[in-house]
Amino acid sequence: MSVPAHRTLVLGGARSGKSAHAEGLLPPEGAATYAATARRDPDDPEWNRRIAEHVARRPDDWRTVETPEPAALVELLDNALGTDPPILVDDLATWLTGALDDAGAWEGADSALETVERQRGELVRACASCRARLVLVSAEVGLGVVPGNRAARLFRDELGALNARLAEVCDEVLLLVAGLPLRLR
């Protein structure tokens, strides 16, 4: 009998099924904490529909905690106990976007990038030491051509670095391609 992974990283491209697959890794019945990293935008109805689709899939006994600020997610993970319900974080690409926004990193200031690097390190540390069952969802964006603009390259590079560091501390790493999970570890 195999022991279930304590920390799982689920990677995938846009609409690959990564979120639904990650949700399916948790017990079908029982409590869970869903850490939602998206920032709501009242002026973006399409984005709000996407969020509503995710909310509609969640079982009634799951608790949603909105963690759009980088420190809020770290705090949630740091405070988790081994007896707590599993935590599902969806998704780290939106968490990183918020961190880049808050730091003003899109303009490329070294101090802003240092802030994001520090926050990334805090998140990886919190994931590694989280005592609850943890499932992380993140986009995989580095499989295509080098983007033609600075902001897209920055995002791709920063997310790739975050995913690589998280993969180091996770017991299980999955990649969803066309809805199919591939076990990387």
Catalytic residue numbers?
A: 54
- In angstroms, the Cα distances linking 6 to 29, 48, 74, 82 are 18, 31, 17, 10
State yes or no: 43 annotated in a binding site. Answer: no
C-alpha closest to that of 179 among 19, 7, 5: 19
Q: Please give the Cα distance from 88 to 175 (Å, whole number).
A: 16
**First and final CA of the chain: distance in angstroms?**
18
State yes or no: 160 annotated in a binding site. Answer: no
State yes or no: 36 annotated in a binding site. Answer: yes
Q: Please give the Cα distance from 96 to 118 (Å, whole number).
A: 12
State yes or no: 15 annotated in a binding site. Answer: yes
* Cβ atoms 163, 115 nearer than 8 A: no
State yes or no: 185 annotated in a binding site. Answer: no
State yes or no: 14 annotated in a binding site. Answer: yes
Which residues make beta-bridge pairs with 33?
63, 87
State yes or no: 117 annotated in a binding site. Answer: no
State yes or no: 17 annotated in a binding site. Answer: yes
> What does the block give as tokens for 123?
């998140």
* Cβ atoms 94, 37 nearer than 8 A: yes
State yes or no: 16 annotated in a binding site. Answer: yes
Annotation: binding site: 12-19, 36-38, 66, 90
Annotation: binding site for GTP: 12-19, 36-38, 66, 90
